[in-house]
Structure 1
Amino acid sequence: MNLKKLYKSRFFGQFWVILIVLSFTFSPLVGQKRKRGDKKETIDKKTEKNEEQLIDIDNNFIEAEKYFLLKDYDKSSEYFDKVLEVDPENAAANYKKAQILSEKEENTEALPFAVRAKQLNPKNKYYYILLANIYTNIADLEMAAATYFDLIENVENSENYLFDLAALQLYQKKYDNALETYTRAQKYFGAMEEIIFQKQKIYLRQNRLDLAIKEGEELINNNPGKSLYVASLAKMLISNDKPEKAQSYLEKYVEEYGDDPVIGVQLAEIYRKAGKVKEAIMVLKSAFLSPSMDINAKISTLSGYISMLPNEELVEPLIGLTKGLVTTHPDSFQGYVVAGDLYYNTGRKELARENYLKAIEINSSNFNVWQNVINIELDLQEYKSAVKHSEKALEYFPNQGSLYYFAGTAQMLIKDYKEAIELFKIGRTYTSGNKQLSSVMNGQLGDAYNSIGDHKNSDLAYDEALKLNPENDHVLNNYSYFLSLRKEKLDIAESMSSKLISLREDSPTYLDTHGWVLYIRKKYKEARVFLEKAAKAENNATIIEHYGDVLFQLGEVNEAIIQWEKARDLTDDKENLNKKIADKQLYE
């Protein structure tokens, strides 16, 4: 606790106006002409001042006040010194002198002036407040508390400063004294929220939970229907391992007054910890429909429940919360993002994309959201949309290498290979520091070059990809397979496909690639092992046709025809297969 800030805030927040009034109120000769023979409140009654001295005091006081308002504290102090030279028992001048020194953080020097001002005029509350503030600044909290106590005892209508006294007592860990002070304040002001909450904190520090609960119940009974007080008591009970008791208060409130956002959040926490996750989500509905509940709290809560997926029982309740979130906060970027995340995690990719795009309309500066949109469109095979959004995303993030990968991949899928090549080439410059991504980018570049028949550059790109990541299975597969189709560098192709199988022996595609490389190398018996395994694992026309081809080479013509017939039933490209079947002959 910053005590200096605490006490200055109550006093000095309104002090500019007060100062002007005070300076004329306590300055004995300012603002009116004094008749000869009048005696000032702060002048020793045995001391008489002549007319000239009185005028001098007034003039110096006015000058001092003028410079004080201009914050020229040194000049102001000089004039107050002149007042005190003539009239050392001038309460207002002592007060102002103390105030100036305190403003300059010279609190030790300010103290005797503040003490003297209070002694000279013990009915002026501002003198007590300044003195207490100075004691606080020099860390004499005992005297600060004593000063507030004297203020309350000696000055009428100063009960408001009971709160300052209690705060000092709390800081000094004088809990019984603080309780006594708050109880006194409660008698004067009634069961105020601030008083009850402070008393509860003290009781909890003293391990007197029963009394803290009693205070909370009093606050609830005095304010029927106010959910904040019920939730506050419930929170205290939960923190002290009494969730069942907290639950009873919360459920009673709902029964009497209906759903409430604050109550719903508390109940949800209790239900969640008790393993009643679906019930927890259901009671959050009113909170998510409330515009007053902080959206960040909603998003944090919703994200926590989304992390519990997959759980079919939770999907519909969570979707209900998400709809409430975006309905209540239609301009929230984060709301649509979390909605997109929920729909994506539950397999509703169209709805996920819809919400991500709404998020982008509000705030287009989040890279991950753009990436999610493009990923979904690639999954949905909506390649033209993926091209459009990847190009748009690159306008915002031209230095993000992964975006070039997505953009290039989308272009390849619509068969614009030249545009894909340009994107992958640019993307390589932004991924040089990331070997994994750079290897993937070069692999895609190799595929794009191969698609336009530029085998030289395709091989160079594949070689670079494998240099960066020798276990890049995509490149090992495509590179070895394309070499086998070209019947070039077959020893290298076999080496790559063998490595591929050592990495992923369960993949039908990779088994087929290795088997086909062996087939091209006329290692038919070895090829049969891998192609048969691949054909049994996946009903794919190409794989089954390859299996039929190797059977034909091994002299098992009838079995080969059976496999070719299976392959024909799985593809629209039947011409070559029909010819093989009809002629019982292999055509390559």
Structure 2
Amino acid sequence: MLLAGLTGFAQRTYDQFFLEAMMQRQKGNNAAAFDLLRHCLELNPEAPEVYYFLAQYYNALKDNKTSEEYFKKAAALAPDNVTYMETLAQIYIRQQNFAEAIPVVEEIYERDKERIDLLEMLFQLYQQVGKNDQAVEVLDRMEAIDGKSERLSVAKSEIYTRQGDKKRAIAEMKSLAEKYPNDLNYLGLYGETLMMNGEVKKALKVYGQILEQEPDNNKVLMSLRTYHLALGHKEMADSLSERVLMNKNATSEERIHLLRQEMSASELAGGDSTRVLRLFKKILSGPQTSEDMALLCASYMNAKKMPKDSIIHVLEQALTIAPDNSMARLQLVGYAWENDDMERVVELCRDARQYNPDEMAFYYYQGIAYYKRENLDAALSAFKNGIGVIKDDSDPNIVSDFYAVMGDILHQQGLAEEAFAAYDSCLVWKEDNIGCLNNYAYYLSERGEKLSKAEEMSYKTIKAEPKNSTYLDTYAWILYMEERYAEARIYIEQAIQNLDEKMDNAVIYEHADKIKLKIKTE
């Protein structure tokens, strides 16, 4: 690493200290490396590599002024070093000092004219400082290398338009269209530029030329639709909308984009959904390449509070197109649940095993549906299968309920220890699962086991819902089992005061009688 100005012993001394600094840096001993580099600077104040590495340390020390000064010095001492120059350019850009960055990037490009990325950077920088002529000149340089292209011509035309130079904006796109006369997309861009710059008659003529050759050209149809909307030609615009939507060449994205516009226009006009729904129906009557249109329709119908049966029909269509769409399937599960159609819930969730085997919600709803139908074995099987897809980032509410219901089922099957293990798992995922806390506490009290733990769990439930007669009854019964009869009476009386007469309250009355009897005999 021989440097101008140092010879013999001085050079060897510098090299020794610089190499040692690099070794310490490699080892992560940054304090030692920093000190050694500062000593190197004393030995040779004209060493660009020392300024470069010291600049990085000053940057880490938040001394931005010194850091920038040293990066500048490194680049000035070694302008042929691309790394130093690029680093300096990036610093200027981060500081939004675009004017200073430009000459640095220009100098780098002059040394390596194969780097198109530098021209891309210069194009952006010149625009940032408002030098549009220089930005166009950079595009010309890029065009000289890569040839005329849509991207470059559009960029130039946009700059000319911003400058108010309509003639050059139009001429640029006309030149592109003439260079590639067989590409109607370029002719379409020329038409759009004419329209944008007020040359309406010429633009319409160009659009006509395109439609003669390609009647289903969606870009042109959309441009014409926009034109007629602006003039208030509603019938013509509506006709063009339908033409685009029913066009076999239209992509799903184009249709959805246009329908969203129609939906917005409908809302602005008072919210009449008739036309929008008719468009959806017309589109969905044809073949679909994706479920997106059906899902958008269902979402719109839901927002407009359409009958649920109608929404279900559209969601069923979405699921037929894409049976692996979990969102559509879950919505259908939700509607079936609302209708208390547990058979349909089971069917939807069972089919999900094939298409969405890792979606935990389907195991949950299937298990609950079986449980509501009193098919405990099938419910337990569904929950056990669902446990296999639980992950660390699974929804704790669903996982907690998984284990809670499993615990209830296991207890009903006489498997108390397994039930308690399930309840413990439930509370690991959600320690305030009130339903689980109540059932767990009550079942422990029935067995006369771990009454202190049962009391603690039950107390959480009455704190959360102080007027819940079931929870008050559980807490009273635990106190009874602990032979704290006076306290038990207070809570059982509260339970009776808050009874829901629609429920079977026989157990609560039975507990109340036992507590009162015990107090009388005391």
TM range (shorter): 0.5 to 0.7
Match of 1:322 in 2: 315
Describe the SS at the equivalent of 2:463. coil
Q: Is 1:160 matched with 2:148?
A: yes
Structure 1 residue 336: deviation in Å? Answer: 3.8
Structure 1 residue 362: deviation in Å? Answer: 3.1
In structure 1, how many angstroms separate the alpha carbons of the residues matched to 2:118 and 2:483? 96
Which of 356, 359, 363 matches 1:366?
Answer: 359
Equivalent residues of 1:111, 1:134 under 8 A apart: no
Match of 1:404 in 2: 403
Describe the SS at the equivalent of 1:381. coil
Q: Alpha carbon RMSD of aligned pairs, Å? A: 5.3
Match of 2:288 in 1: 290
- 1:193 is aligned with what amino acid? N
Structure 1 residue 301: deviation in Å? Answer: 2.0
Equivalent residues of 1:349, 1:376 under 8 A apart: yes
- 1:290 is aligned with what amino acid? Q
Q: Is 1:136 matched with 2:131?
A: no
Provide, for residues 77-125 of structure 1, a one-character-per-residue CA deviation record: whole Å limited to 9, x for no partner: xxxxxxxxxxxxxxxxxxxxxxxxxxxx8532544997xxxxxxxxxxx
Provide, for residues 179-226 of structure 1, a one-character-per-residue CA deviation record: whole Å limited to 9, x for no partner: 33213433554573355357647856x799999888767655552134
Match of 2:350 in 1: 357
- 2:443 is aligned with what amino acid? A
Describe the SS at the equivalent of 2:459. helix
Match of 2:416 in 1: 417
Which of 425, 433, 439 matches 1:444?
Answer: 439
Equivalent residues of 2:153, 2:176 under 8 A apart: no
Which of 380, 394, 399 matches 2:387?
Answer: 394
Provide, for residues 461-517 of structure 1, a one-character-per-residue CA deviation record: whole Å limited to 9, x for no partner: 254232365244264254268579989755434432454467x56553387777666
Alpha-carbon distance change, 199 to 459 in structure 1, aligned in 2, over 3 angstroms: farther
Structure 1 residue 459: deviation in Å? Answer: 7.3
Structure 1 residue 164: deviation in Å? Answer: 1.8
Q: After alignment, is 220-229 or 175-184 more displaced? A: 220-229
Q: Is 1:223 matched with 2:214?
A: yes
Match of 2:177 in 1: 186
- 1:170 is aligned with what amino acid? E
Q: After alignment, is 472-481 or 369-378 more displaced? A: 472-481
Structure 1 residue 397: deviation in Å? Answer: 2.2
Provide, for residues 236-294 of structure 1, a one-character-per-residue CA deviation record: whole Å limited to 9, x for no partner: 8789998765433233567898999678644586367432375455235247x422x4x
Q: Is 1:170 matched with 2:168?
A: no
Describe the SS at the equivalent of 1:248. helix
Equivalent residues of 1:145, 1:165 under 8 A apart: no
In structure 2, how many angstroms separate the alpha carbons of the residues matched to 1:238 and 1:380? 56
Describe the SS at the equivalent of 1:470. helix
Describe the SS at the equivalent of 1:388. helix
Equivalent residues of 1:234, 1:250 under 8 A apart: yes
Equivalent residues of 1:199, 1:212 under 8 A apart: yes
Equivalent residues of 2:295, 2:318 under 8 A apart: no
Aligned pairs for 1:298-337 (under 5 A) are 298=293, 301=296, 304-305=299-300, 307-308=302-303, 311-312=306-307, 314-316=308-310, 318-334=311-327, 336-337=329-330
In structure 1, how many angstroms separate the alpha carbons of the residues matched to 2:475 and 2:112? 94
Identify unmatched segments of 5+ residues in structure 1: 1-73, 76-104, 115-125, 524-588
In structure 2, how many angstroms separate the alpha carbons of the residues matched to 1:351 and 1:390? 18
Describe the SS at the equivalent of 2:364. helix
In structure 2, how many angstroms separate the alpha carbons of the residues matched to 1:216 and 1:497? 83
Describe the SS at the equivalent of 2:388. helix
Equivalent residues of 1:231, 1:262 under 8 A apart: no
Equivalent residues of 2:170, 2:193 under 8 A apart: no
In structure 2, how many angstroms separate the alpha carbons of the residues matched to 1:198 and 1:478? 80
Aligned pairs for 1:220-259 (under 5 A) are 220=211, 222-227=213-218, 229-230=220-221, 234=225, 246-251=237-242
Name the TM-score, length of structure 1 as normaliser.
0.52
Match of 2:471 in 1: 476
Equivalent residues of 1:132, 1:143 under 8 A apart: no
Structure 1 residue 387: deviation in Å? Answer: 0.4
- 2:177 is aligned with what amino acid? Q
In structure 1, how many angstroms separate the alpha carbons of the residues matched to 2:375 and 2:304? 27
Q: After alignment, is 462-471 or 250-259 more displaced? A: 250-259
- 1:479 is aligned with what amino acid? T
Name the TM-score, length of structure 2 as normaliser.
0.57
- 1:396 is aligned with what amino acid? V
Describe the SS at the equivalent of 1:509. coil
Describe the SS at the equivalent of 2:358. coil
Describe the SS at the equivalent of 1:326. helix
- 1:180 is aligned with what amino acid? A
Aligned pairs for 1:39-188 (under 5 A) are 107-108=106-107, 110-111=109-110, 136=123, 139=126, 141-143=132-134, 145-146=136-137, 160-161=148-149, 164-171=152-159, 173-174=162-163, 176=166, 177-188=168-179
Alpha-carbon distance change, 455 to 240 in structure 1, aligned in 2, over 3 angstroms: farther
- 1:508 is aligned with what amino acid? K
Aligned length: 394
Q: Is 1:464 matched with 2:453?
A: no
- 2:262 is aligned with what amino acid? I
Equivalent residues of 1:445, 1:461 under 8 A apart: yes
Alpha-carbon distance change, 252 to 203 in structure 1, aligned in 2, over 3 angstroms: closer
- 1:320 is aligned with what amino acid? H
- 2:389 is aligned with what amino acid? Y
- 2:358 is aligned with what amino acid? S
Alpha-carbon distance change, 181 to 345 in structure 1, aligned in 2, over 3 angstroms: farther
Q: Is 1:495 matched with 2:477?
A: no
Describe the SS at the equivalent of 1:290. coil
- 2:405 is aligned with what amino acid? F
Equivalent residues of 1:333, 1:363 under 8 A apart: yes
Identify unmatched segments of 5+ residues in structure 2: 1-79, 82-103, 393-398, 518-522
Describe the SS at the equivalent of 2:317. helix
Structure 1 residue 443: deviation in Å? Answer: 1.2
Equivalent residues of 2:408, 2:419 under 8 A apart: yes
In structure 2, how many angstroms separate the alpha carbons of the residues matched to 1:258 and 1:213? 22
In structure 1, how many angstroms separate the alpha carbons of the residues matched to 2:507 and 2:230? 62
Q: Percent sequence identity over matched residues?
A: 10
Match of 2:503 in 1: 509
